[in-house]
Amino acid sequence: MKALDELTFDNRFARLGDAFSTHVLPEPLDAPRLVVASEAAMALLDLDPAVAQTPVFAELFGGHKLWAEAEPRAMVYSGHQFGGYTPQLGDGRGLLLGEVYNEAGEHWDLHLKGAGMTPYSRMGDGRAVLRSSIREFLASEALHALGIPSSRALCVIGSDTPVWREKQERGAMVLRMAHSHIRFGHFEYFYYTKKPEQQALLAEHVLNLHYPECREQPEPYLAMFREIVERNAELIAKWQAYGFCHGVMNTDNMSILGITFDFGPFAFLDDFDAHFICNHSDHEGRYSFSNQVPIGQWNLSALAQALTPFISVDALKEALGLYLPLYQANYLDLMRRRLGLTTAEDDDQHLVERLLKLMQNSGVDYTLFFRRLGDESAALAVTRLRDDFVDLAGFDAWAEQYKARVARDGDYGEEQRRARMHAVNPLYILRNYLAQNAIAAAESGDYSEVRRLHEVLSKPFEEQAGMEQYAQRPPDWGKHLEISCSS
Ligand code: AMP
Ligand code: MG
């Protein structure tokens, strides 16, 4: 276990130089205080969890203090936002403080979001508000606990610093961790500004640090792109299987590591709705729940375009062709498991599609349906779940098909079925209304609800005593909440 001053830095991205990022110091928050910390994320840095309670922790992550070895940098990038190219985005409010490596030899970027203005702030104030910082913290740690690749969050630091959005709010900072903060938009920036040397340096950097095994391949850059395609196909299959809607899948929010990255007005589905749009400024539904699948491919094509100086167009096209079949295979595999199936049959896709259609038409809670399906034998479970459906004849027909399929799958006991299904079907997810409750309390100075919710979501598959209220469908006020896009 380490104390805070014992972290070991090795700032590899900073060493790429000024074409890639600019040295900027964090702008301190007034009266910084700990809102919430993740012990699991602290453990990745070998940090003693007790240090979160010391004043220096809030000072470090509230922008007041820095390690001597930290080299805070604002990264430059660009990207396609809602389909249109924005030539220069860059980090307008986040600083890469430095890269830390732990005792296992893993490198973690320490990134402070809401750290004040940078040369890339454009019209922005460089700040992040408490509510969006809490949402990013809870979502990153909750996704990780569900087994969905994501950036991590070490802590949220609150403050008295006034920040103007639709109304006056308080500034906060979230300390984000990832093995890399390089986005598709980094490659696009150097491609569209026609800086081939820098682009080659960036590609070498990513290849050496994050895809070293691709070096062994005859065409290392192509192998790396293929790997990025595969990771994204797997990631989006997980989002779709677990009902996660990202909301702002711009290419500047897509990580070259294929992890969930940059949280805005995201949501987990309550009722199943394939057409759900969590971002209320997304009028055309470009980033609706079901569109995440084709948009994943669209974003990979934007990255492919930026890689044309290194890889032939034919090879890029072929690699892009891997996306959809891989997505489908991964998605179907996850959905089979969610249904408690251990074998594969040709008609399984149809079984899943029919179920989702019935759920869509009846507004069935997506998470609780699968959890309850595993509570008891297939025959008993479908009898109990039947009442949630409007089209009873349709559900009965599906239930017959499902029971027959389960019978063909194997003869295992109820106990085994429950354990297997509960291990993949969470009881607790980050419902928007739960986040909203925690945020409302935190905005009035009470951080206990954020901390409790974080705790509950860190073990989403385990039934936790006294936590029944976190495993309920939303109350009326909590359905279809409009989450502000300002952050
Ligand atoms: P996002 O929509 O959060 O992914 O942000 C898109 C870009 O705008 C990123 O480069 C952000 O750093 C930048 N940005 C967002 N909010 C602010 C802000 N309040 N001040 C400065 N830059 C911002
Ligand atoms: Mg972003």
**pLDDT reading at 445 higher than 90:** yes
Given a cut of 80, is residue 89 above it in pLDDT?
A: yes
**DSSP, res 161:** E
> Does ligand 1 lie within 6 Å of residue 417's CB atom?
no
262 CA → ligand 1 middle, Å: 10
- β-bridge partners, 175: 112, 155
Atom number of ligand 1 nearest to Cα 89: 10
| Ligand 1 contacts CB of residue 119 (under 6 A) | no
Ligand 1 atom nearest to 77, measured from its CA: 10
Q: What is the pLDDT of residue 332?
A: 98
Backbone angles phi, psi at 324, to 5 degrees: -65, -50
Of all residues in the chain, what percent carry a pLDDT higher than 90? 97
Q: Does residue 411 have a pLDDT over 80?
A: no
Residues in Cβ contact with 435 at an 8 Å cutoff, skipping those fewer than 6 apart: 134, 135, 138, 453
Tokens 């709705």 -> residue: 273
Residue 412 pLDDT class (50, 70, 90 cuts): confident
Residue that is written with structure tokens 């240090």 in the block:
51
Q: What would the DSSP string read from start to end of 326-388?
A: HHHHHHHHHHHHHTT--S--TTHHHHHHHHHHHHHHHT-BHHHHHHHHTTS-HHHHHHHHGGG
Cα 419 to middle of ligand 2, angstroms: 38
Nearest residue (by CA) to ligand 1, atom 13, is 92
pLDDT given for residue 271 in this prediction: 97
The bound ligand whose nearest atom lies closest to the alpha carbon of 165 is 1
Q: Which atom of ligand 1 is nearest to the CA of 250?
A: 4
Report the pLDDT value the prediction gives residue 480, as an integer from 0 to 100.
Answer: 84
**CB 402 within 8 Å of CB 394:** no
Mean pLDDT for 69-93 is: 96
Residue nearest to atom 22 of ligand 1 (CA): 92
pLDDT (0 to 100) of residue 484: 87
Residue among 18, 30, 48, 252 flagged as catalytic:
252
Residue to mutate, 29, 75, 76, 93, ligand 1, most ligand atoms under 8 Å from C-beta: 93
Contact between 355 and 362 (Cβ < 8 Å): no
Q: How much of the chain is helix, strand and coil, in % rounded to 5? A: 45, 15, 40
Atom nearest to 124 CA in ligand 1: 20
Cα 385 from Cα 370, distance rounded (Å): 10
* 173 bridge partner residues: 157
Question: Which ligand 1 atom is at minimum distance from the Cα of 262?
Answer: 4
Distance (Å, whole) CA 337 – CA 341:
5
Binding site membership of 93 for ligand 1 (Cβ less than 6 Å) = yes
**Residue 262 in contact with ligand 1 by CB distance below 6 A:** yes
Give residues with Cβ within 8 angstroms of 105, minimum separation 6.
none
170 pLDDT more than 90: yes
Q: Is 92 in the pocket of ligand 1 (CB under 6 A)?
A: yes
pLDDT in tens, 206-216: 999 999 999 99
Q: How many CB atoms lie within 10 A of CB 404?
A: 11
Determine whether 252 is an active site residue: yes
Count of residues making up the chain: 487
Q: Are 38 and 153 in contact (CB under 8 A)?
A: yes
Angle 175-177-182 from CA coordinates, rounded to 5°: 115
Compute, in angstroms, the gap from residue 184 CA to the centroid of ligand 2. 11
State the chain's mean pLDDT as an integer. Answer: 97
Helix (H) or strand (E) holding 129: strand 128-129
Å from CA of 350 to ligand 1 middle: 41
In angstroms, how far is CA 184 from the centroid of its own chain? Answer: 16
118 lines ligand 1 (CB under 6 A): no
What CA–CA distance (Å, rounded) separates 411 from 407? 7
For 364-398, the pLDDT digits (tens) are: 999 999 999 999 999 999 999 999 999 999 999 99
> How far, in Å, from the CA of 300 to the mean position of ligand 1?
22
- Kindly list the distances between the CA atom of residue 352 and the CA atoms of 164, 333, 425, in Å, as whole numbers in the listed order: 46, 11, 15
Q: Could you tell me if the CB of 125 is within 6 A of ligand 1? A: yes
CA of 262 to the centre of ligand 2 (A): 5
pLDDT tens digits for range 218-258: 999 999 999 999 999 999 999 999 999 999 999 999 999 99
What secondary structure letter does DSSP report for 53? G
- Find out whether the beta carbon of 90 lies less than 6 Å from any atom of ligand 1: yes
Mean pLDDT of 344-373: 97
Q: Are strands 152-164 and 33-37 parallel, antiparallel or unpaired?
A: antiparallel
What's the pLDDT tens digit per position in 16-32? Answer: 999 999 999 999 999 99
Tokens of 40: 């699991």
Residue 158 has pLDDT above 80, yes or no: yes
CB 82 within 8 A of CB 282: yes
What's the pLDDT at 446?
A: 98
Taking the alpha carbons at both ends of the chain, their separation in whole angstroms is: 34
**Phi, psi at residue 79, to the nearest 5°?**
160, 165
Atom of ligand 1 nearest to the CA of 94: 12
Q: How far is the CA of 327 from the centre of ligand 2 (A)?
A: 24
Q: Does 116 contact ligand 1 (Cβ within 6 A)?
A: no
- Closest residue (by CA) to atom 11 of ligand 1? 92
Q: Is the CB of 89 under 6 A from ligand 1?
A: yes
Q: pLDDT at residue 426 above 90?
A: yes
User: 415-436: buried (b, 16+ CB within 10 Å) or exposed (e) per residue?
Assistant: eebbebbbebbbbbbbbbbbbb
Distance (angstroms) between ligand 1 centre and the Cα of 404 equals 52
DSSP string for 402-463 = HHHHHHHH----HHHHHHHHHTTS-S----HHHHHHHHHHHHTT--HHHHHHHHHHTSTTS-
Averaged over 59-68, what is the pLDDT?
Answer: 98
Q: What is the CA radius of gyration of the chain?
A: 23
